[in-house]
Amino acid sequence: MGLQESAFGKMERWRSKRLGLLMLASILAWCDLLAEMKHVLPTGSVVDDLGLNWVTVLTNVSAATNEAIVSDLRPSTGYQFRVSAVNNVGEGSPSQPSITVILPQEAPSGPPQGLVGSPRSSTEIMIQWEAPMEEERNGMIHGYMVRYRLWGYKDSQWYYRNITKETYKTVHRLIPGQSKFKTQHNYLIGGLIIWKDYEIQVAAYNVKGVGVYSRGIRVKTKEGVPAAPPKDVKVEALSSTTIKVMWKPPDPWMINGINQGYKLQAWKVQPEDGIEPDKITTVPPSPYPDAVETTQLVNLDKYTEYYITVLCFTHPGDGNRSQPIKIRTLEDVPDTIESLKFEDISDRSVRVLWSEPEQSNGILKGYTLTYMVKDTPSTKVIQNFTADVTTHLITDLSATTFYTFEVYGWTSVGPGTPVTATIQSGVEPVLPDPPNRLAVSNIQAFSVVLQFTLVLMAMLQYPSGQSSTWETVYAVSAPDATTITVQNLIPYTNYHLRLIANNVVGASAPSEQSPEFQTLQAEPAHPPSNMTVRAMSSTQLRVRWIPLQQFEWYGAPQGYHIRYRPVGCECNFAEDFVYDNTANSHQLVGLQEYTLYEVSMVAVNDIGPSTPTPLAVERTRESVPSAGPDGVSANATTSTTIVVRWKEVPKIHQNGIIEGYKVVYVGKNMKPQEKIIPTITPLLQPLPSFESITNIPSRSWLTLERGWGSVNSSLLVQTHDDESSLPPIEAVCVSFPDYFYIYHFLVEPRQRWVCSHQVLHSTIYRRKQWLANHRRKNRLLSNQLQCQNLKPFTPYTFRLQATNDIGPSGWSDSSIEVRTLPAAPTEHPTDIKVIPITTNSVRVEWTPLFPDSWSGDAKTGGYRVKYRKISDIPTAFNMQHEELQDTLARKLYYKIFREAQNVNAEPVTSTEIRVTWEPPEEQEQNGELLGYKIFFRSEKDPEGTEEIEVVGAGTTSYELLYLDMYTRYIITILCFNPAGDGPKSDPVYVRTLQDLPGPVANLSFTDITMNSLKVVWDSPARPNGEIVGYLVTYVTARPDENFSKQVKQKVGTPYLLVTSLEEEVTYEFNVKAQTIDYGPEVKANVTTGPQPGSPARPKDLTLTKTVSSVTLHWRNSHSGKGSILGYYIEAKKIYMNTLYSSI
> Percentage of residues in the chain with pLDDT exceeding 70?
77
Would you say 490 and 447 are in contact if contact means Cβ atoms under 8 Å apart? no
Q: What pLDDT does 925 receive?
A: 73
Higher-pLDDT residue of 1139 and 512 is 512
d(CA 523, CA 445): 9
Band the pLDDT of 588: cuts 50, 70, 90. very high
Q: If you average pLDDT over residues 320-328, what whole number do you get?
A: 94
Query: Which residue would you say has higher pLDDT here, 720 or 788?
Result: 788
Q: Give the C-alpha distances (Å, rounded to integers) separating 353 from 13, 416, 419, 420, 676.
A: 121, 17, 12, 13, 95
Residue 758 has pLDDT above 70, yes or no: no
Mind giving me the DSSP string for 271-311?
Answer: --TT---SEEEEEPPPSSTTPPEEEEE-SPPTT-EEEEEEE
Task: Please report which confidence band the pLDDT of residue 383 belongs to, taking 50, 70 and 90 as the band edges.
Answer: very high
Q: Which residues, including other chains, have CB under 8 Å from residue 707's CB and lie 6 or more apart?
A: 624
- Average pLDDT (645-658) is 84
pLDDT the model gives residue 725: 42
Distance of CA 878 to the CA centre of its chain: 37
Q: Which of 267, 359, 363, 265 is nearest to 306 (CA)?
A: 267
- CATH 2.60.40.10 holds for 529-610: yes
Give the model's confidence band at 264: pLDDT under 50 very low, under 70 low, under 90 confident, else very high: very high
CB 565 within 8 A of CB 555: no
Residues of the chain with CATH 2.60.40.10: 231-328, 340-424, 439-518, 529-610, 633-718, 731-812, 901-991, 1001-1076
Q: Which of 84-93, 849-858, 1012-1021, 1108-1117 has the lowest mean pLDDT?
A: 849-858
CA distances from 170 to 45, 127, 135, 190 (A): 18, 12, 21, 19
The DSSP string of 415-473 is B---EEEEEETT----PPPPP---EEES--SS-EEEE-S--SEEEEEEE-TTSS-EEEE
| CA neighbor of 342 nearest in space, from 411, 300, 397 | 397
What's the pLDDT score for residue 299? 92
Instruction: Inform me whether the pLDDT recorded for 491 exceeds 70.
Output: yes
Distance CA 198, CA 1122 (A): 58
For residue 1107, give the nearest of 334, 377, 19, 31 by alpha carbon: 19
In SS3 terms, 21-43 reads as CCCCCEEEEEECCCCEEEEECEC
The predicted structure's pLDDT at residue 23: 43
Phi, psi of 805 (to 5 degrees): -70, -15
User: For residue 92, how far is the Cα from the chain centroid?
Assistant: 64
Q: What is the reported pLDDT for 717?
A: 65
Tell me the mean pLDDT in the region 744-767.
Answer: 38
Cβ-count burial 374-388 (b if 16+ within 10 Å, e if not):
eeeeeeeeeeebebe
Q: What is the pLDDT of residues 280-292, one digit of tens each?
A: 999 999 888 788 9
Average pLDDT of the segment spanning 979-996: 88
- Report the amino acid identity of residue 1038: R
For residue 1029, what are the β-bridge partners?
1074
Contact 1, 54 (CB under 8 A): no
pLDDT at 779: 52
Fold of 731-812: Immunoglobulin-like (2.60.40)
- The winner for highest mean pLDDT among 571-575, 747-751, 1127-1131 is 571-575
Higher-confidence position of 91 and 535: 535
The larger pLDDT score, comparing residue 25 to residue 1131, is at: 1131
Is the pLDDT at 1040 greater than 60? The verdict is: yes
Q: Which CATH architecture has domain 901-991?
A: Sandwich (2.60)
User: Does residue 492 carry a pLDDT above 60?
Assistant: yes
Q: Measured in whole angstroms, how far is the alpha carbon of residue 145 from the centre of its chain?
A: 51
Q: Is residue 950 helix, strand or coil?
A: strand
Q: For 878-912, what is the HEC assignment?
A: CCEEEEECCCCCCCCCCCCCCCCEEEEEEECCCCC
Between residues 969 and 858, the one the model is more confident about: 969
CATH superfamily membership of 439-518: Immunoglobulins (2.60.40.10)
Residue 441: count other Cβ atoms within 10 Å of its Cβ: 10
Q: Give domain 340-424's CATH architecture.
A: Sandwich (2.60)
Residue 262: closest CA among 279, 280, 277, 283: 283
**What is the Cα–Cα distance from 258 to 314, expressed in whole angstroms?**
6
Helix (H, G, I), strand (E, B) or coil at 1034: strand
Maximum mean pLDDT: which of 474-478, 1043-1047, 1062-1066, 1081-1085:
1081-1085
| pLDDT over threshold 70, residue 755 | no
pLDDT tens per residue, range 729-739: 343 333 334 33
Average pLDDT estimate for 365-374: 94
Contacts with 597 (C-beta within 8 Å, 6 or more apart), sequence order: 533, 541, 564, 565, 566, 567, 588, 591, 617, 618, 619, 620
Banded model confidence at residue 353, pLDDT cuts 50, 70, 90: very high
pLDDT recorded at residue 265: 94
CB 421 within 8 A of CB 441: no
Per-residue pLDDT at 586: 93
The CATH code belonging to domain 633-718 is 2.60.40.10
DSSP label at 378? G
Q: What's the CATH architecture for 1001-1076?
A: Sandwich (2.60)
Region of residue 628 (phi > 0: left; psi between -120 and 50: alpha; otherwise: beta):
beta
- 910-961 per-position pLDDT tens digit: 889 999 999 888 777 777 788 889 999 988 877 777 888 888 888 899 999 8
- Structure confidence at residue 560 as a pLDDT band (50, 70, 90): very high
Q: Is the pLDDT of residue 689 over 80?
A: no
Q: Is the pLDDT of residue 46 over 50?
A: no
- Whether the Cβ atoms of residue 737 and residue 822 lie closer than 8 Å to each other: yes
At residue 1015, the pLDDT reads: 93
Is 43 exposed, middle or buried, given 0-12, 13-18 or 19+ CB atoms closer than 10 A?
Answer: middle
Whole-number pLDDT of residue 280: 93
CB atoms within 10 A of CB 280: 11
Residue that wins the pLDDT comparison between 1022 and 980: 1022
> What does the pLDDT read at residue 1093?
76
Dihedrals phi, psi of 29, to nearest 5 degrees: -120, 140
Q: State the pLDDT at residue 384.
A: 94
Higher-confidence residue: 138 or 527? 527
User: For residue 783, what pLDDT is reported?
Assistant: 67
- Cβ contacts of residue 648 below 8 Å, gap of 6+? 629, 630, 658, 683
56-77 confidence digits (pLDDT tens): 888 788 888 888 888 877 777 7
Give the whole-angstrom CA distance, residue 276 versus residue 268. Answer: 10
Average pLDDT over residues 9-32: 44
Q: What is the pLDDT of residue 12?
A: 41
Tell me which of 82-86, 435-439, 653-657, 666-670 is least confident: 666-670
The whole-chain average pLDDT of the chain stands at 78
Helix, strand, coil share (%) of the chain residues, nearest 5:
5, 45, 55
Q: Which residue has the higher pLDDT, 203 or 836?
A: 203
Q: What is the pLDDT of residue 415?
A: 93
pLDDT at 979: 67
Higher pLDDT: 781 or 244? It is 244
231-328 CATH choice from 2.60.40.10, 3.30.70.20, 3.40.1260.10, 2.40.110.10: 2.60.40.10
Residues 6 or more apart whose Cβ sits within 8 Å of residue 731: 742, 743, 744, 755, 798, 799, 800, 812, 815
pLDDT score of 501: 84
Per-residue model confidence as pLDDT tens digits over 198-246? 999 999 998 888 999 999 999 999 989 998 999 999 999 999 999 999 9
